[in-house]
Amino acid sequence: MNVIPDNFLGLDAAASDYRKARYAILPIPYDSTVSYQVGTRNGPRAIITASQQVELFDEEYKREFFAAGIATLPPIAPDMAGPEHMHEVIHEAARKVVRDGKILIGLGGEHSISSGLVRAVLGKFKRLSVLQIDAHADLRAEYEGTPYSHASVMRRVVEMGVPIVQVGIRNYSLEEHRFMTRARLAPISVRELRENPDWIQKAVDGLTEDVFVTIDIDGFDPAYAPGTGTPEPGGMDWFQVTTLLKAVAMHRRIVAADVVEVLPLPGSAQTEFLAAKLIYKLISHIEMNRRGR
């Protein structure tokens, strides 16, 4: 019985052993602060299933990269007592992974999970910055009665004193605009991507040496990632996102990441497949550039 192991990329025991792995995939099937399209709780399971169809050979670098070790952790059970409790549960789980020296990769679930992850990584990397690829600013003070909402997650990160660089943003409120002005945040819009050839350099310049990459899948145009809750038109494409990640991997040290807001659609694996390939691409970029560090 020659079966594909049920972990990220379908790796064998050696390549997915947590003790030896450089990367740890942490599934967080949680979406309880979402009030519009629901179902990102099914994202982690779908991404892992799709990843088992991703080729281990990277055709850009002409190499395989899984030998670095990529462990898949069991999913975090949802705590239904409310988002503040859930934030603590996520922080606890992530802190252990970071302490174990792994490069943590969270799988959402909704975007609210990122604040617990960033907080955990910040515990080790004091001069952390965050690269946010997203359609929405997520900078509200609070939303629908809670400060731990998906719509306020980056506000929480900013409050931790962590610099953020926002790319792909094309939807935010007047309140968020005012906060951005105060906080001197100037997101790189998709219009700017199309008009300013130096946008990648600008994004990299805004980051500190240690970077947490948070990718809300709706940063992509819905044409490429239709499976998400609020499909904002006018988004990024595959080449824009992966070229940016390559540049960040070359010029900075990516110490953790997450991919969130994947909402599997009935009958199509397009979005989860893109998410799975994106994560392996990110790992490939990190691996190719880690020598000198």
- Please list every residue from 97 through 126 that binds its own copies, using CB under 8 A: none
Q: Closer CB to its own copies, residue 69 or residue 187?
A: 187
Helical packing angle, 238-251 and 270-289, nearest 10°: 20
Q: Closer CB to its own copies, residue 97 or residue 207?
A: 97
Q: What is d(CA 45, CA 267) in angstroms, rounded to the nearest whole number?
A: 15
Q: Closer CB to its own copies, residue 3 or residue 293?
A: 3
3-class secondary structure, 44 = helix
Tell me the per-residue interface mask from 237 to 266 with its own copies, x by CB under 8 A, - otherwise. Answer: -xx--x----------------------xx
3-class secondary structure, 163 = coil
Q: Strands 57-58 and 63-64, how do they pair?
A: antiparallel
By CB under 8 A, is residue 221 in contact with its own copies? yes
Tell me the per-residue interface mask from 173 to 212 with its own copies, x by CB under 8 A, - otherwise. Answer: xx-xx-----------x-x--x------------------
* Distances, alpha carbon 285 to alpha carbons 56, 77, 105, 168, 256, in Å: 14, 31, 14, 20, 13
Q: What is d(CA 190, CA 93) in angstroms, rounded to the nearest whole number?
A: 34
Q: Closer CB to its own copies, residue 173 or residue 208?
A: 173
Angle at 69 between CA 66 and CA 70, to 5 degrees: 85
By CB under 8 A, is residue 76 in contact with its own copies? yes
Of 74, 182, 197, 292, the one binding its own copies by CB under 8 A: 74
Q: What is d(CA 206, CA 156) in angstroms, rounded to the nearest whole number?
A: 19
Place of tokens 């500190």: 208
Question: Which parts of 145-174 interact with its own copies (CB under 8 A)?
Answer: 145-146, 149, 169-174
Q: Closer CB to its own copies, residue 184 or residue 239?
A: 239
Of 6, 17, 100, 205, the one binding its own copies by CB under 8 A: 6
What minimum distance in Å lies between the beta carbon of 265 and its own copies?
5
What minimum distance in Å lies between the beta carbon of 20 and its own copies?
21
